[in-house]
């Protein structure tokens, strides 16, 4: 996963974006305007603050050991003050507004704020603590207000508008024209045309929303950490693989339950439990603990928080002249309108639901044959799906674990990147890192030059949010006489090694590693002039596209033969097991597609409301799911109260993006299949037209430049077994 909201065009304007998605800009304090009195006073009184001078490290990697909690707040305050001075200098410039002295000047501003935000918001997601969470609550309204100060500044908007009105005569490059267009639209979408009273209302709405988003995230983290399924009877572990049991014992020890076994709602814990535990009552217990996070009517309940957010978003959208929040968001996405997204869902949903019902019937038949006197329930799905998978395909995903150690899968990722793009990596143990689990590599381009720094943070921690994502501590850019080397990080939640052995991944987890490295490649292979257009700074429904494409190589026999080797014997994964993987690849796709699409529709329904009265969250969710005909055996991938993507991240009205991007990804991989999966000409074209261009051009124009046509939906449906062709 890679996050964004409304795409920022200048660093200061990116502050709202930073709050939700850790958008990143270069680690530098260079500016064209001297610090103003406020900023200088803060800097002078915090001489030891590492944010106020170069890090002095290789390629300016953040010097994590020197950065303390007390450094963030002064740095944020100084950065905001300095950015205010930079913006005022643009306004006060007596010369007529030009692309250079207005649009580019804004693009070059806000470096100090971005420098501290890059570190702070990466760590609040990957390595947080109580101090960082408290600082986040204080900083959030400051950044929201600073963002509004720019977007609602009439004199600044007048200058931007003056340049925009001249756009046809300026002879701008494609990237410059897009920067100008996006900057102008950021102002109009940010409220620049509102009257003063409405601007004040907008400021208040933005501040409330930023605070509620933080509250939602904090509640969810607390709910996730508070739940524990504690088992003290070994008989209750029946069916579970030995490595899962060992991990549960380690978790129990860490949580003060020595001699017992603890399972949590983190994916590495709950997924194997639901898949393999024979005890149906315990499966129900942990499942209910998972799906009711934020829905316990306690101090961490999220129902009112999210309902208020949806209502406030609707109010803000209408204040800005849009029918709904979804219309506001989707205007700048490739989907363009909610109607187009609903249309896509309606094309896929019938086939997916029909397939899911077939899967229900097959599992119910197995239950009946085994003498079970119960109806299949949601907490039974993974368990019986695995039984069917084993029976039908003789495939048990646990068989694949020995061949997908974290180390071997990393080799597979790096091998694939080398074959496609000629890049190589060298691990460095001497560079700064924020946690001892983090690993760091230098990345070299095919000409031998250092292209990027890549960090990998792979193991689950209590202070790390769930899921998997890519971010940057520094974006690539080449502007204002400076060429910036990207510093990219992948953050995942794999199980820790047990008893001195390696971390063994499921096939799905290994695929996730490939997916996230696809995002990393998008950041590392970026080659643009402007930092706001670098790497993954693209529309939400396009950002998943390169990562979806990268997943395809994971399943190719030629790639598997290179890295899928038994961690003990070195034996290459048997072709018979590869055949089973491929045969089972379309299995359970009805369930996978339905649970995802249910969450997608729930997201859209929340963000197409038109009134400002907060809904009853439980009633609204039930009506949304009933209206689409969701069957009781399947819950949405994310229910409202723990749908962090849309209420604490950058996916509001955008969760459909995975399906949208997967259509692009499936269609794009057809080009590689036609010419050969490692055809260098095809890979070079993909790098040149997609990976290197970031957001410097219209994304669908870039896609067509690579593929020579628009993407069709058939390759995706065929791959998921939802199309009989």
Residue (of 466, 563, 570, 437) closest to 507 by Cα position? 563
State whether residue 512 is helix, strand or coil. helix
Strands 450-459 and 439-444 come out as: antiparallel
User: What are the b/e assignments for 532-563, b being 16+ CB within 10 Å?
Assistant: bbbbbbbbbbbbbbbbbbbbbbbbbeebbebb
φ, ψ dihedrals at 654, nearest 5°: -140, 10
C-alpha 722: how far from its chain's center? 27
Please identify which residue in the block is written with the tokens 């720094």. 453
Residue (of 163, 110, 125, 1) closest to 463 by Cα position? 125
* Structure tokens, 95: 């010369």
* Structure tokens, 65: 């050991």
Q: How far apart are CA 617 and CA 640, in angstroms?
A: 8
Please identify which residue in the block is written with the tokens 């590869």. 578
Q: How far apart are CA 576 and CA 583, in angstroms?
A: 10
Strands 487-494 and 450-459 come out as: parallel
Residue (of 495, 496, 543, 553) closest to 520 by Cα position? 543
* Structure tokens, 502: 């390696």
Residue (of 90, 207, 211, 96) closest to 153 by Cα position? 90
Yes or no: say if 462 and 14 are a contact pair by the CB < 8 Å rule: no
Which residues on neighbouring strands pair with residue 488, listed in sequence order? Answer: 454, 472
Strands 482-484 and 477-479 come out as: antiparallel
Q: How far apart are CA 542 and CA 632, in angstroms?
A: 32
C-alpha 490: how far from its chain's center? 10
Yes or no: say if 99 and 172 are a contact pair by the CB < 8 Å rule: yes
Please count the CA atoms within 13 angstroms of the CA of 624 that sit on its side-chain side. Answer: 24
What single string gives the DSSP state of each residue in 321-382?
Answer: T-SSHHHHHHTTSSS-SHHHHHHHHHHHHHHHHHHHHHHHHHHHHHHHHTT--S---GGGHH
* Structure tokens, 679: 């055809």
State whether residue 456 is helix, strand or coil. strand
Q: How far apart are CA 489 and CA 470, in angstroms?
A: 6
State whether residue 109 is helix, strand or coil. coil
215 included as an active-site residue: no
Yes or no: say if 328 and 320 are a contact pair by the CB < 8 Å rule: yes
Distances (CA, A) of 6 to 137, 539, 548, 650, 669: 21, 8, 22, 8, 28
User: What are the b/e assignments for 634-646, b being 16+ CB within 10 Å?
Assistant: bbbbbbbbbbbbb
Which DSSP symbol is given to 691? Answer: I
Q: How far apart are CA 333 and CA 331, in angstroms?
A: 6
107, 215, 223, 516: the catalytic one is: 516
Strands 450-459 and 261-263 come out as: unpaired
Residue (of 503, 545, 475) closest to 410 by Cα position? 503
* Structure tokens, 379: 């907490």
Catalytic residues: 516
């Amino acid at each position: 996963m890679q996050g964004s909201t409304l795409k920022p065009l200048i660093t200061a304007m990116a502050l709202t974006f930073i709050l939700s998605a850790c958008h990143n800009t270069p680690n530098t304090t260079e500016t064209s305007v001297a610090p103003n009195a406020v900023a200088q006073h803060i800097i002078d009184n915090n001489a030891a603050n590492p944010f106020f001078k170069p890090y002095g490290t290789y390629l300016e990697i953040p010097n994590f050991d020197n950065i303390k909690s007390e450094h963030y707040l002064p740095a944020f305050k100084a950065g905001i003050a300095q950015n205010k001075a930079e913006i005022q200098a643009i306004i006060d410039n007596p010369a007529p507004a030009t692309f250079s002295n207005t649009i580019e000047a804004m693009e070059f501003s806000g470096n100090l704020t971005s420098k501290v935000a890059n570190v702070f918001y990466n760590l609040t997601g990957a390595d947080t603590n109580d101090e960082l969470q408290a600082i986040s609550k204080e900083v959030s309204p400051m950044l929201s207000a600073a963002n509004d100060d720019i977007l609602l500044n009439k004199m600044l908007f007048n200058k931007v508008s003056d340049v925009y009105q001249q756009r046809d005569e300026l002879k701008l490059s494609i990237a410059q024209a897009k920067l100008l267009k996006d900057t102008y639209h950021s102002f109009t979408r940010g409220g620049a045309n509102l009257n003063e009273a409405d601007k004040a209302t907008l400021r208040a709405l933005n501040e409330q929303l930023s605070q509620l988003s933080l509250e939602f995230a904090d509640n969810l983290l607390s709910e996730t950490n508070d739940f524990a399924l504690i088992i003290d009877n070994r008989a209750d572990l029946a069916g579970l693989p030995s490595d899962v049991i060992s991990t549960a014992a380690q978790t129990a020890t860490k949580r003060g339950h020595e001699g017992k076994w603890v399972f949590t709602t983190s994916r590495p814990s709950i997924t194997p439990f639901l898949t393999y535990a024979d005890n149906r009552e315990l499966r129900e217990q942990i499942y209910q603990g998972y799906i009711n996070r934020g829905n316990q009517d306690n101090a961490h309940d999220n129902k009112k928080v999210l309902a208020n957010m949806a209502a406030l978003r609707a109010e803000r959208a209408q204040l800005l002249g849009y029918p709904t929040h979804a219309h506001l968001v989707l205007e700048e996405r490739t989907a363009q309108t909610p109607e187009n997204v609903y249309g896509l869902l309606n094309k896929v949903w019938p086939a997916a639901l029909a397939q899911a019902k077939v899967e229900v019937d097959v599992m119910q038949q197995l239950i009946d044959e085994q003498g079970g006197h119960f109806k299949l329930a949601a907490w039974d799905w993974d368990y019986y799906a695995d039984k069917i998978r084993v029976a039908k395909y003789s495939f048990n995903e646990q068989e694949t674990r020995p061949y997908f150690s974290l180390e071997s899968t990393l080799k597979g990722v790096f091998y694939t990147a080398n074959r496609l793009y000629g890049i190589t990596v060298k691990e460095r143990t001497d560079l700064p890192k924020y946690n001892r689990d983090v690993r760091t590599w230098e990345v070299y381009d095919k000409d031998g030059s250092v292209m990027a720094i890549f960090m990998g943070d792979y193991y689950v921690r209590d202070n790390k949010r769930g899921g998997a994502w890519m971010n940057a501590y520094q974006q690539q850019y080449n502007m204002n006489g400076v060429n910036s080397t990207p510093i990219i990080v992948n953050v995942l939640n794999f199980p820790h090694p047990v008893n001195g052995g390696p971390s063994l991944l499921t096939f799905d987890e290994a695929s996730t590693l490939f997916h996230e490295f696809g995002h990393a490649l998008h950041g590392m292979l970026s080659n643009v002039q402007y930092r706001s257009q670098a790497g993954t700074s693209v529309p939400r429904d396009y950002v998943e596209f390169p990562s979806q494409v990268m997943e395809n190589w994971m399943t190719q026999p030629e790639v598997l033969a290179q890295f899928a080797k038994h961690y003990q014997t070195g034996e290459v994964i048997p072709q018979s097991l590869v055949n089973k993987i491929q045969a089972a690849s379309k299995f359970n796709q009805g369930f996978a597609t339905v649970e995802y699409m249910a969450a997608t529709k729930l997201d859209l329904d929340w963000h197409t409301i038109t009134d400002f009265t907060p809904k009853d969250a439980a009633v609204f969710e039930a009506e949304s799911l009933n209206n689409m005909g969701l069957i009781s055996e399947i819950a949405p991938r994310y229910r409202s109260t723990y749908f962090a993507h849309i209420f604490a991240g950058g996916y509001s009205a955008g969760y459909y993006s995975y399906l949208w991007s997967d259509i692009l990804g499936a269609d794009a991989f057809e080009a590689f299949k036609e010419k050969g999966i490692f055809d260098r000409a095809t890979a070079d074209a993909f790098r040149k037209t997609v990976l290197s261009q970031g957001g410097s051009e219209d994304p669908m124009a870039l896609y067509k430049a690579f593929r020579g046509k628009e993407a069709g939906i058939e390759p995706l449906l065929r791959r998921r077994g939802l199309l009989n062709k």
